[in-house]
Amino acid sequence: MTTPFTTQASAARTAARELATLPRGRKDAALHAMADALAAAEQDVLAANRLDVEAAREAGTADAMVDRLTLTGERIAGMVQGLRDLAALADPVGDVLRGFTTAAGVRITQVRVPFGVVGIIYEARPNVTADAAGICLKSGNAALLRGSSSALNSNRAVVAALRTGLEGQGLNPDAVCLVEGGREVTGEMMTARGLVDVLIPRGGAGLINAVVNGSTVPVIETGTGNCHLFVDVDADQDMALQIILNAKTQRPSVCNALETLLVHEQIAEQFVPRVMSALNGAGVTVHGDESFTSVAPGALPARVDEFDAEYLSLDLAARLVAGVDEAIEHIRAHSSGHSETIITTNLATANRFTAEVDAAAVLVNASSRFVDGGEFGFGAEIGISTQKLHARGPMALPEMTSSKYIVVGDGHIRA
């Protein structure tokens, strides 16, 4: 059945074929052209964004969400620079992953190829529109961008500029498509096997679960980070304080921020008062279980379910544990598999923690805020995968590709 969505997705597939074999030089030129066009359209984009922001305010949207929706000259400049930065990154397409000759003498090369058409489903953050389009383009994929209806005017203006940039370089503008329409269109997108190769939801746990549960197209899950930090009996306690403060307060609203503190009970009397004082001084509210509040009178009692969700705010759950075993057990039961940290000077304890904790990233004596494509040195990041298939951890350009085996013989047949 042909619908507006299938027509658009088919057009994106046609564009994807052209992108798949486009040399890096032309993709980089296109990224600069997209950046130029977006910079030139700044006033149009700001005007369109004002419509969305006004509507959101009238609808009583929370301030934090209105802030994410709001574009400024500075934010647009950031989007423009993001596109230019992508042009400077290596092209993953065509990378040879393996090459060998089989026992029969057939020559085999495994090379990176684009996915084809990537669907991004995201919330009311118009900056994602340019970021995702750029990452898809550089990795040779066409992008079907399904933003929130509350950012529709902004997204239309951004996508129009990006498509102008593509056309100016003689490329098919359907490499970047904004998917419009009601909720039923999201459903079409999630079940468009054969038209959409991969779906990447970007947003909160609710959005991600809805996409995972509703999709037959393969999904890469990103983002939910219920991150723990365990202060071992053998920790450098000054180091622990610094890392806890950094992981919790440097940017509390993001997925790699600290959400639960686990303290070895043997150091509780000494360490808990210090950490409470430091956290309270930084404006953090601590929610402890009974074990924790008994040594930290300033902590609020935590409900049981507070150990299972992200606060994404200046709040922190806390409990005492009997040792690394109980810490690992707690993390197993409550982790979202994003980033888990131990602070210890004991090598054997560190090794047990890194071997037995099952997460995209396991950290020793470092802040979980480092688990990020930019900090890893990968450049642009489409998200942080918290699943185990395909990619786990920060997803950059190589993670936006698949591979293909090229098999060359000289008349070889199988015996």
Alpha-carbon distance 302 to 307, whole Å? 8
Which residue from 6, 169, 246, 346 is in contact with a second copy, where contact means CB under 8 A?
246
Binding of a second copy by 389 (CB under 8 A)? yes
Helix (H, G, I), strand (E, B) or coil at 122: strand
Chain-centre distance of CA 49, in angstroms? 24
Stretch that binds a second copy, among 47-55, 79-87, 261-269, 382-390 (CB under 8 A): 382-390
Alpha-carbon distance 319 to 290, whole Å? 8
Binding of a second copy by 212 (CB under 8 A)? yes
- Tokens coding 173: 């503008």
**Least distance (Å) between residue 63 CB and a second copy:** 25
Binding of a second copy by 250 (CB under 8 A)? yes
Which residue from 253, 290, 294, 405 is in contact with a second copy, where contact means CB under 8 A?
405
Binding of a second copy by 220 (CB under 8 A)? yes
Helix (H, G, I), strand (E, B) or coil at 99: strand
CA dihedral 93, 98, 102, 106 (to 10 degrees): 20
- Using CB under 8 A as the binding rule, the residues of this chain from 76 to 105 that contact a second copy are 100, 102-104
Which positions from 336 to 355 touch a second copy by CB under 8 A, shown as an x/- string? --------------x---xx
Binding of a second copy by 335 (CB under 8 A)? no
Which residue from 279, 362, 396, 397 is in contact with a second copy, where contact means CB under 8 A?
362
Q: Contacts from 351-354 at CB under 8 Å and sequence distance 24+?
A: 352/324, 352/328, 353/230, 353/324, 353/327, 353/328
- Tokens coding 95: 């990378």
Determine the straight-line distance between the first and last CA of the chain, rounded to whole angstroms.
45
Alpha-carbon distance 331 to 128, whole Å? 31
Nearer to a second copy, 84 or 352 (CB): 352
**Least distance (Å) between residue 385 CB and a second copy:** 10
- Sign of the Cα pseudo-torsion (31, 33, 39, 44, in order): negative
Residue at token pair 């000259």: 73
- The DSSP-derived string for 124-145 is S-HHHHHHHHHHHHHTT-EEEE
Binding of a second copy by 64 (CB under 8 A)? no
> Residue 231: beta bridge partners?
263, 343
Nearer to a second copy, 45 or 113 (CB): 113
- Tokens coding 44: 């149009």
| Number of residues counted as binding a second copy (CB under 8 A) | 69
Binding of a second copy by 325 (CB under 8 A)? no
Binding of a second copy by 413 (CB under 8 A)? yes
| Contacting positions for a second copy (CB under 8 A) | 17, 20-21, 100, 102-104, 106, 108, 110, 113, 115-116, 193, 197-198, 212-213, 216, 218-220, 236, 239, 242-243, 245-247, 250, 350, 354-356, 358-367, 369-371, 375-377, 387-390, 392-393, 402-414
